[in-house]
Structure 1
Amino acid sequence: MYVHLIMMLSLGLGSFICGLVFLVTSFSGASSVIEWELMSLNSVCVNFVIILDWISMLFMCFVLLISSSVMYYSGSYMKGDMNFDRFMYLVLVFVFSMGMMVLSPNLISILLGWDGLGLVSYALVIFYQNEKSANAGMLTVLSNRVGDVAILLAIGLMVKLGGWNFIFCVYELMDKDWFLLKMLVMLAAMTKSAQMPFSAWLPAAMAAPTPVSALVHSSTLVTAGVYLMVRFSPALEGSKIQSILLIVSCLTMFMAGLGANFEYDLKKIIALSTLSQLGVMLSILSLGFPDLSFIHLLSHALFKALLFMCAGVIIHSVSGYQDIRCMGCLVKFMPLSVSFMTVANLALCGFPFLSGFYSKDMILEVAFMSEINFVSLILYVLATGLTVSYTFRLIYYSLSGSFNLSSLSNLEDGDKIMSNSMIMLSLSAVFMGAVLSWMLFPEPYMICLSVFMKNLVLMVSVLGASAGYFMNLMSVSCNLKSLLRYEIVTMSGSMWFLPSLSTKNLSKVNLKGGVVMEKMADKGWYEFMGPQGVYYSFSKLFYVFNVLQVNGIKVFMKMFLVMVVMMSAGLYI
């Protein structure tokens, strides 16, 4: 019964300790490396390494802080579930796997946490045992396996360096000879952070309980790819990888923002906003600013966890509905939860002096100041406007619009545990962005922009807010007009058909090809020319050699007699 309290206190204590270590390492400029040699193979040592520097300690501080809040929140949210203890232990293993990944500068020990995240995320996505959850879990785990294979291939390539501690030889990887290794690392980050064309699994993972969504989409699973790219960022300078990553991430954030404006599932809208922000992080990282990407990763984790917690409270209050059209006017019934959700939404939009403002506004200004192509600039502008648009659309439908629930619905902020767990994150969403910017950027950035470019973000945000709120006031006419462009609306609302391409069509092709390969290869030529055929041939050959070795005199006499008979027969003829 008190499992969630014990875990919450333990994770909170761990967050406090990591925060103290971060302060020590950041002010002293020193970092510690703990290394165990597991085995040695031809002068290549397989080591288990832990690094304690300001990046890993700060990130672990945030991971444990959010995890402790989620644990406390889950004590009320999952209270009636018969598998409550199993859920808590799965979440704890999930946090442990993230810690393994964050604290390791070694590609082999990173793989332990990387695979742990994929395995436990599958177990959490299928926690509610139904067909939808099973399909979502399979899509999640198979999409992430692509990244796991990329990490394994990268481990094989790094043997050439004589070790797998990439953080100590990251500048050697800047050479053009390591292009394939960097491509594999980028592929792994793209699958874990759900960049195109691997984006379909992230909204599908909403089949998991809401506390899991709050943890996964804020500081753990989807941020692992961004964190890995931050660690590898010095090796990407001057590489073609940056151009590839820039266009992929810009397309991802535009596609996610567009899809969120056509989505009606509350959790999927927030999931698509996560996907859009992951595109922002990777795009600014590809421009050569990993510090900006990292600070946005931290500030985004706070208000996104708060946003999912508010969504969970609302879903509980409206009897399990997730369709925003079945909500409305919640501000009159749940003022506390709606206040927290509004703070999180405004932080997501980059409202001045909230946590998202200090990272997102600087990211956009630095991107506009950088040498990027026109397509990327347009995608940045459109994605910014779409972010504000779907946020205010969500506010209209769920918080301030007309009341669409039944007249017998009883809505209130009655759960103190869930409300208390959101208070700490709401304060962090307000103040932590300023604190992070003061600590990580003691010297100001020099930003030189024209008046138009400086005000472009503000103009796009105002236009996006107006479109997202006031156009949905005319929802009936908008829905009727959308039927005239049904194909465009369908494509925009379905993430450019990525879910169907990642599941039905791809599985049909793979299954048909698999049947053909099984008949022609696995049960055909592979049986005769592959390992089974080689085994059969060698077994016969070894039998002959064994007979020759054991029965040498008998075989010699038989062979001698045969030769004599053949020679005599030849002479007779």
Structure 2
Amino acid sequence: MYLIPALTLIPFIGAILIFLDSNSKRRGYVIYGTVALMMLCCFLLVGQWILQGAKPWHLYPQTGFIDLLMQVIEVFLMIFIVYKSFKHKKRWISLLAISQTVLTLWVEHSIPLVESTHTTVDSLALLMCILCSVVGGLIGVYSVGYMKSYHENHRGIIDRSNTFLALLFVFMAAMFGLVLSSNLIWMYFFWEVTSVISFLLIGYTQTDEAIDNSFKALWMNLLGGIGFAVAIWLCAMQNHSVQMQDIVSGGNTMIIGMLCLAGLTKSAQLPFSTWLFGAMVAPTPSSALLHSATMVKAGVYLLIRLAPALYGNLCGMVVAFIGGFTFITTSMMAIAQNDAKKVLAFSTISNLGLIVACAGIGVEQTVWAAIFLMIFHSVSKSMLFESVGATENSIGSRDIEHMHGLILRLPKLAYIMGIGIAGMYLAPFGMLISKWVALKAFVDSGNVLLVIFIAFGSASTMFYWTKWLGKLIAMHKPNTPDHDATRKDEYFSMGVLGVIMILLCLLFPLLAGFVVNPIVLSLFGATQDVLSMSELTTMVIMVCSVLLVPSMMFLITRMAPRDYVPTYMNGVNVGDNSHFIDSMGESKKLYLSNWYLRFEFGRRRLLRPSQIVAASVLIVTFAILLGGAIG
């Protein structure tokens, strides 16, 4: 069982070494070694678990010293938040940190709790460990080269790369601890660590915007932390136990509702979505880590754990509504964005909303879809963030309009970005298949509102992804060449993620049979074949066919003539394919732009009404739950 503590300690020790070493070359080797050990430890743990029968492990009933150490760290984090809040004149945020820390410490020292295990190793926890170690580890590898280019292109920002890289690995260590915890107090501890680390990552550049956005993320996640702390207190008072399995089987709606609040804030659902928009000011590895396999996935992980207890009750209906409503509104807002990272941010929130809606319905079919959505979203979105960051370092912009003809200008980055985009919405990639399963489950459940949300939200999704993909594959190349500033470790990370994405599609039937079905079985005690083997086989054939498309694109770009035909611009082309002489003899710049419908779907137009609707639903829900608890 030494592999379990090792899985958390390896990235933490690596973070210490990274922080202490100012030599970038040695620091890179430490990162490569830490990632390799982290992945090795994770897969050894999975192998050992399978060899021992693939049954849940419930471990560590007595953890006196570790509990005391966690309490000391909790107090330190509280003091740190209070200090930062007063330093930046946001004193009210300190109240959130103080209240939840005092409440959890009071529970631990004043309420006698039944002795129980603190760690559970099962199929869902191991899947999260694999996602964190593989996707998170590859993001760590990517960050080695990226941070060098980042500070070369951002001279005004103080180079604190060792701190930034160390925080990435502390974050991964906390995620391992969170998903392996079965005790709510342990889970809460790691939950708060991720909140504080994300606060530091978002504020890395120390600009006024970064500081404001980091505090926005902090207070929203601390609000969820209060919900978590209240759930711990209620559970301890009622059952003298703080075990997750007792909450799922107990069915106390107030406790479940408080944990759902924590899950909604961490997964950036409306009305708490704005913290994830603000995270875009941080360097790309931070965005990739927060948006793909770690931070936001902690929220949906908690809701998937709670899914069996959400079926057919008020909490489940509200969670499903908030998720579906977030899916459609943020999909529409993404249409109005031309900044690639903002598109990815809205897309992340949107897809998380669909996962949350699936968890809220709380039946085998929807949870099956939610797990697949989580897997494919983790791989695809991390690859997209990385490719956008590399493109920005190469062309000096992350504006989608500036990526016109990228397949000819920077073909390797365009291929990687294209695979990531295809993975998000095209057949037969898993995201689309999972959406189809979710739609079928929503129809079967008779939830007309969710059917409308997923139908129109998916149409919006197709709109903004198609616009972006069309820009990439446009056969237009200006005479001024683009320099590819992407480093080898960045390409290695993106390339491996691209291969994983293709393999996930090719091995879809195996993934369903040996990974997703066992998770659903462990959560519900029963499972069913959501898709028949004939359908799955057809999908694999479709994947093989789809692979011909990038191959043809590769041949086209290789066979394209090197002497490009001047573009017709309704005037005399001056020779650079970007300017023409108009009828008055003046030079005009050619500008090709997508349609963004900013007036109809802009963030300023839709965000505030969406927040009001979601907040109203939550307020009414908790008023009903409180009234029922008092009555």
**Structure 1 length-normalised TM:** 0.75
1:98 to partner: Cα distance:
1.1
Quick check: 1:18 aligned with 2:42? Answer: yes
- Deviation of 1:476 after TM superposition, in Å, equals 6.7
1:365 aligns with 2:390: no
The 5 Å alignment of 1:201-216 reads: 201-216=275-290
The 5 Å alignment of 1:14-413 reads: 14-26=38-50, 28-35=53-60, 36-38=62-64, 41=110, 43-45=112-114, 49-79=118-148, 81=151, 82-174=159-251, 178-288=252-362, 289-319=366-396, 321-352=397-428, 354-368=429-443, 370-400=444-474, 408=480, 410-412=482-484
> Offset of 1:258 from its aligned partner?
0.2
**Residue-by-residue CA offset, 1:47-95 (whole Å, 9 max, x unaligned):** 7712222211121011011122111111110025421211111111111
Question: d(CA) in 2 for partners of 1:477 and 1:274?
Answer: 21
Q: Distance in 2 between matches of 1:163 and 1:295?
A: 35
The residue aligned with 1:545 is none
Which is further off, 1-10 or 55-64?
1-10
SS of the residue 2:186 aligns to: helix
1:130 deviation in Å?
0.7
1:20 to partner: Cα distance: 3.8
1:51 aligns to what SS in structure 2? strand
The CA deviation at 1:444 is 6.2
Q: 1:356 is matched by which residue type in structure 2?
A: M
Shift of 1:5: 3.1
- Distance in 2 (alpha carbons) for counterparts of 1:386 and 1:304: 18
Q: Does 1:424 align with 2:424?
A: no
2:224 maps to amino acid: G
Instruction: After TM superposition, give the deviation of residue 478 of structure 1 in Å.
Output: 5.2
How many residues are treated as equivalent by the alignment? Answer: 466
CA distance in 2, matches of 1:163, 1:402: 67
Aligned counterpart, 1:6? 30
What is the letter of the counterpart of residue 187 of structure 2?
A: I
Alpha-carbon separation, structure 2, partners of 1:280 and 1:399: 29
Change (3 A) 1:73 1:3: same
Tell me the distance in 1 between the aligned counterparts of 2:110 and 2:185.
Answer: 14
- Aligned to 1:33, what secondary structure does the other structure show? strand
> Residues 143 and 201 of structure 1 are in contact (CA less than 8 Å); yes or no, is this contact kept in structure 2?
yes
Shift of 1:493: 6.0
Tell me the distance in 1 between the aligned counterparts of 2:289 and 2:238: 36
- The aligned residue for residue 529 of structure 2 is 445
Greater Cα offset, 219-228 or 35-44: 35-44
- Residues 187-196 or 428-437, more deviating: 428-437
User: Letter of the aligned partner of 2:130 in structure 1?
Assistant: C
Report the CA distance between 1:271 and its aligned residue: 0.9
1:495 paired residue number: 607
Provide the residue aligned with 1:557 in structure 2. Answer: none
Tell me the secondary structure at the aligned position of residue 58 of structure 2: strand
Instruction: Indicate how the Cα distance of structure 1 residues 26 and 248 shifts in structure 2: closer, same or farther if over 3 A, else same.
Output: farther
Report the counterpart of residue 571 of structure 1 in structure 2: none
Distance 2:236 2:441 in 1: 37
SS of aligned partner of 1:195? coil
Native 8 Å contact 1:25 1:54 kept in 2: no
TM-score, reference length from structure 2: 0.68
> What's the secondary structure of 1:400's corresponding residue?
coil
Amino acid at match of 2:56: S
Contact 1:33/1:49, CA 8 A, preserved across alignment? yes
Aligned partners of 1:200, 1:381: CA distance in 2, in Å? 24
Alignment check: 8 A CA contact 1:413 1:419 kept: no
- Secondary structure of 1:2's match? helix
Matched-pair contact (CA < 8 Å) for 1:33–1:52: yes
> Does the aligned pair in 1 maintain the 2:376–2:423 contact within 8 Å?
no
Identity of aligned residues (%): 22
Q: 1:171 to 1:146 in 2, by over 3 A?
A: closer
1:125 and 1:133 in contact (8 A); partners too: yes
CA RMSD in angstroms, aligned pairs only: 2.9
Instruction: Return the offset for 1:146.
Output: 0.9
- CA distance in 1 between counterparts of 2:146 and 2:125 reads 30
Secondary structure of 2:295's aligned partner: coil
- What amino acid is aligned across from residue 29 of structure 1 in structure 2? A
| CA drift at 1:374 | 2.1
8 Å Cα contact 1:304/1:344 also seen in 2: yes
Q: CA deviation at 1:411?
A: 3.2
Say whether the 8 Å CA contact 2:372–2:430 is kept in structure 1.
no
Superposed CA offset, 1:460-508 (max 9, x none)? xxxxxxxxxxxxx9977957xx68xx4x344576534669999xxxxxx
Taking the aligned partners of 1:168 and 1:444, their CA distance within structure 2 comes to 22
> Which residue number in structure 1 is paired with residue 84 of structure 2?
none
Range 189-198 or range 370-379, more displaced:
370-379
Q: Work out the CA distance in 2 between the residues paired with 1:133 and 1:308.
A: 19
**1:311 CA drift (Å):** 0.7
| Alpha-carbon distance in 2 for matches of 1:491, 1:55 | 35
Q: 1:196 to 1:112 in 2, by over 3 A?
A: same
Task: Tell me the alpha carbon deviations over residues 368-413 of structure 1, each in whole angstroms, 9 at most, x when there is no partner.
Answer: 3x2233222111101111111111112234553756x8x6552337
Distance 2:109 2:221 in 1: 30
Please tell me whether the aligned partners of residues 107 and 164 of structure 1 are also in contact (alpha carbons under 8 angstroms): no
Checking the alignment, whether the CA contact within 8 Å between 1:4 and 1:88 is kept in structure 2 is: no
Alpha-carbon distance between aligned partners in 1 of 2:405 and 2:594, rounded to the nearest angstrom: 21
Structure 2 distance, partners of 1:497, 1:132, is 24
Task: State which drifts further: 91-100 or 230-239.
Answer: 230-239
Amino acid at match of 2:493: S
Q: Helix, strand or coil for the counterpart of 2:59? A: strand
- Secondary structure class of the residue paired with 2:148: coil
Question: What is the rounded CA distance, in whole Å, between the counterparts of 1:350 and 1:160 in structure 2?
Answer: 49
Query: In structure 1, what is the Cα distance between the partners aligned to 2:328 and 2:468?
Result: 18
Does structure 2 retain, via aligned residues, the 8 Å contact 1:258–1:492? Answer: no
| Structure 1 gap ranges (5+) | 449-457, 459-472, 503-573
Which one-letter code corresponds to 2:373 in the other structure? H
